Amino acid sequence: MNRPADIRYLFEPRSVAVLGASTDRGKIGYRLVENIVNGGYAGKLFPVNPKGGEVLGHRIWRSLDEVSEEIDLAVIAVPAKAAYQAVEQCAKRGVKHVPIITSGFSEIGNTEEERRMVRLAREHGMRLLGPNIFGIFSARSSLNATFGPADIHHGSVAIVTQSGALGIAMIGKTAVENIGLSAIVSVGNKSDIDESDLLGYLVADEQTRIILMYIEGVQNGERLVATLKQAALKKPVVVVKSGRSQRGAIAAASHTGSLAGSDEVFDAIMRQCGVLRGESLEEAFNWCKFLAAAPAPEGENTVIVTNGGGIGVLATDASEKYGIKLYDDARLLKEIFGPVTPDFGSTKNPVDLTGQAGPQQYNAALAAALANDHIDATLGLYCETAVFDAQTLAGMIRSNAEAYRKAGKPIVFSILGGEMTESCIGDLRKESVPVFGEVYQAVSCLGALYRHRRHAAEYSDAVAEAEIDVSLVEKSVASARAAGRTFMLPREARHLMKAIGVAMPQNAVAHNFEEAVRAADKIGYPVVMKIVSPDIIHKSDAGGVALDLENKDEVIDAYQAIMVNARRYKPDARLEGVEISQMLVRTTETIVGARQDKSFGPTVMFGLGGIYVEVMKDVAFRAASLSRKEAQLMVKEIRSYPLLLGVRGEKRKDIDAVVDTIVRLATLVRHCRSISDIELNPLIVYDSGQGVMALDVRVLIGDAQ
């Protein structure tokens, strides 16, 4: 096993070979050579084909063996049946990176052949990209080793895409949108190199300002989470993921499992990592284009300048949706905008210049916002009026956008109207001026900028660690495993809860009424009593439950009544005794769960608990490698959070204890991978300072991996 090749040589190879290079202009092997040559790649190029000859002025080598020089990158474009042999040739020659264009592997079930290539590559420290890809473009080396478009506009956005066809389409779309690329990499089947490997390079690459990823499925999610967390601190990472509607793929073995539709988990974890997830490709492209050029704002005070009340209200709604903070110091707003607003307009935010505003009024208001230190960003809105012609409108927007760019303050425009306005948008967008027809699109761009800024400023990567007794947990796991079970019995689960430090009601099993009284005295009144019998499932139906027993006499009576009832209900039932437990006051019921997610590894869930949990679906997810602050955010995120703050004169609940429980479960599933699912439902939350208590716990056991 050799050390894996440095990822840098994938983007900055000093020499490139193309296996399957062809003189046939209709073939991918020709197109690759053509794109490399015409793209201006300055390194050495070695087309390879057993037939030999010449292509585009380059000698075709009959075999890689003939090439004596070191080869950093070898693109494979030979048919699937010849691919392994080609990889072998590369390994023999010590090639560093091998993008495999060829299709016909795991994507059609031919998994073994793909694995064979990966094994061989790993033995030689060689990295494979793909297979089933369209190639790689790297602006830094002017390398277009793709069979996609010939002319790729250089810039600062790097794209990593799992879909080849979509990737090629994205090259076209970015060209139309005037978005320059620093790199585009097709990852295809991700047999070896995946997003995390590529992020390693792209985050450090100075030319790359934004990273856009199109993801269909996540394989090594735990590693991706760690890489993304770091990446998003350095530069905006935008993700588009397909498969939003895919739900219930995870076996509904528990609430946590059935609630954790893979998309919800993906979404939550992307937010946790500070990644900006676009609803659509269009939104993602808008963000990329805006973020690539937008200056970093000093603060969050945003002002809307408009000539129409309606569009101003729309922008206000959109601001709330995308988390934009509208500056609302009425006195200062009046001071800033009073001199440039007509008497019948408004200096409140949105600042309404009214329908009669022309270029002069806009220029004055936008300049006032630019000049004032209290204002950090501006939204310029315009509804078509007769006051502007297309040229002056475009000129006004262009000059203000330029002034803001120079001063380092973000501005984004939304202009609405007919043909004239539309053509104005088209022209300005070609020049990369941030202008949109739809208000929400404009505001969403500013929202993305602020979300990125907030994450970078507030993120803490200190993973909260609770004190848990791992060996005690393992004992419970071993006990269940020894009995051939994949779940824990209540007794085992209780031990586990003790090991992780989460309280459950006190209980004891009594085999006669004297024992029952002793147990009740110890636990403290009032108590609950329940029949213990492997043959009676519905204890209440059997008359096997007694609640709210306040003293010794009531315990004695209840013990006898339960035994008689149970015997009468099922004469042949094995009666093992009576369970006595603390009678609890049930207040706010929550649920805390944790599991080993198929894609992301250890994850945690928190939500409103009780019997309606699956109906309400008021839950929040995170990767279990979370900070205490992130656990606090989870609690705040659910819709029912006000219940924990105390409603209708109730006291505030013990939110700290809830956060503590989340951290305990997160620590558990991180350290004990054999716990595949754990769920505390309900977790009763008492008033502040009084703690929490898990009334029920379910634990599933899986593989340790």
Interacting residues toward ligand ACO by CB under 6 A: 19-20, 22, 24, 27-29, 48-51, 77-80, 82, 85-86, 101-104, 132-134, 164-165, 168
Q: Cα separation of 256 and 598, whole Å?
A: 13
Closer of 167 and 221 to ligand ACO (Cβ): 167
Q: Which residues of 322-344 are buried (b: 16+ CB within 10 A; e: fewer)?
A: bebebbeeeeebeebbeebbeee
Closer of 79 and 689 to ligand ACO (Cβ): 79
Q: Cα separation of 260 and 286, whole Å?
A: 30
300, two tokens: 């969050």
CB of 195 to ligand ACO, least distance (A): 17
Q: Cα separation of 290 and 432, whole Å?
A: 8
CB of 16 to ligand ACO, least distance (A): 14
Closer of 80 and 556 to ligand ACO (Cβ): 80
CB of 77 to ligand ACO, least distance (A): 5
527, two tokens: 């108590």
Q: Which residue has the tokens 């636990």?
A: 523
Closer of 166 and 203 to ligand ACO (Cβ): 166
Q: How many helices (H) and strands (E) does the chain have?
A: 24, 29
Q: Is 404 within 8 Å of 377 (Cβ atoms)? A: no
Q: Cα separation of 312 and 329, whole Å?
A: 17
CB of 152 to ligand ACO, least distance (A): 15
CB of 48 to ligand ACO, least distance (A): 5
CB of 66 to ligand ACO, least distance (A): 12
SS3 120: helix
Closer of 101 and 635 to ligand ACO (Cβ): 101
Closer of 163 and 220 to ligand ACO (Cβ): 163
Q: Give the residue from 292, 152, 316, 194 showing the smallest Cα distance to 235.
A: 292
Closer of 86 and 212 to ligand ACO (Cβ): 86
SS3 40: coil
Closer of 61 and 388 to ligand ACO (Cβ): 61
216, two tokens: 């269909």
Q: Is 487 within 8 Å of 699 (Cβ atoms)? A: yes
Q: Which residue has the tokens 């309404």?
A: 352
Ramachandran category for residue 582: left, alpha or beta (phi over 0 → left; psi -120 to 50 → alpha): beta
CB of 88 to ligand ACO, least distance (A): 10
Q: Cα separation of 385 and 415, whole Å?
A: 11
Closer of 86 and 218 to ligand ACO (Cβ): 86
Closer of 65 and 514 to ligand ACO (Cβ): 65
Q: Give the residue from 351, 574, 604 showing the smallest Cα distance to 466.
A: 604
Closer of 146 and 674 to ligand ACO (Cβ): 146
End-to-end CA distance of the chain: 23
CB of 102 to ligand ACO, least distance (A): 4
CB of 31 to ligand ACO, least distance (A): 9
CB of 285 to ligand ACO, least distance (A): 19
CB of 108 to ligand ACO, least distance (A): 11
**Cis peptide leading into residue 434 (ω within 30°):** no
CB of 91 to ligand ACO, least distance (A): 14
Q: Where are the beta strands (DSSP E) in 265-372?
A: 276-277, 302-306, 351-352
Sheet holding 97-99, edge to edge: 44-48, 15-19, 73-76, 97-99, 127-129
Letter for the amino acid at 555?
Answer: V
Which residue has the CB atom at the shortest distance from ligand ACO? 164
In DSSP terms, which residues pair with 607 in a beta bridge? 591, 619
Residue 25, CA distances (Å) to 8, 31, 160 in order: 31, 7, 28
CB of 398 to ligand ACO, least distance (A): 38
Closer of 55 and 683 to ligand ACO (Cβ): 55
In DSSP terms, which residues pair with 17 in a beta bridge? 46, 74
Query: What is the distance, to the nearest Å, from the Cα of residue 532 to the centroid of all Cα atoms in its chain?
Result: 45
Closer of 46 and 404 to ligand ACO (Cβ): 46
Residue 460, CA distances (Å) to 127, 285, 455, 655, 666 in order: 33, 28, 9, 20, 16
Closer of 28 and 531 to ligand ACO (Cβ): 28
Q: Which residue has the tokens 């924990």?
A: 644
Q: Cα separation of 701 and 480, whole Å?
A: 8
Residue 138, CA distances (Å) to 158, 450, 544, 676 in order: 9, 29, 72, 42
Q: Is 402 within 8 Å of 290 (Cβ atoms)? A: no
CB of 93 to ligand ACO, least distance (A): 13
Query: What is the distance, to the nearest Å, from the Cα of residue 112 to the centroid of all Cα atoms in its chain?
Result: 31
CB of 638 to ligand ACO, least distance (A): 41
SS3 358: coil
Angle (CA) 219 220 224, round 5°: 115
Q: Is 466 within 8 Å of 667 (Cβ atoms)? A: yes
DSSP-assigned letter for residue 437: S
CB of 28 to ligand ACO, least distance (A): 4
Continuous H helices in 138-274: 164-176, 195-204, 221-234, 255-259, 262-273
Closer of 108 and 645 to ligand ACO (Cβ): 108
CB of 134 to ligand ACO, least distance (A): 4
Closer of 52 and 248 to ligand ACO (Cβ): 52
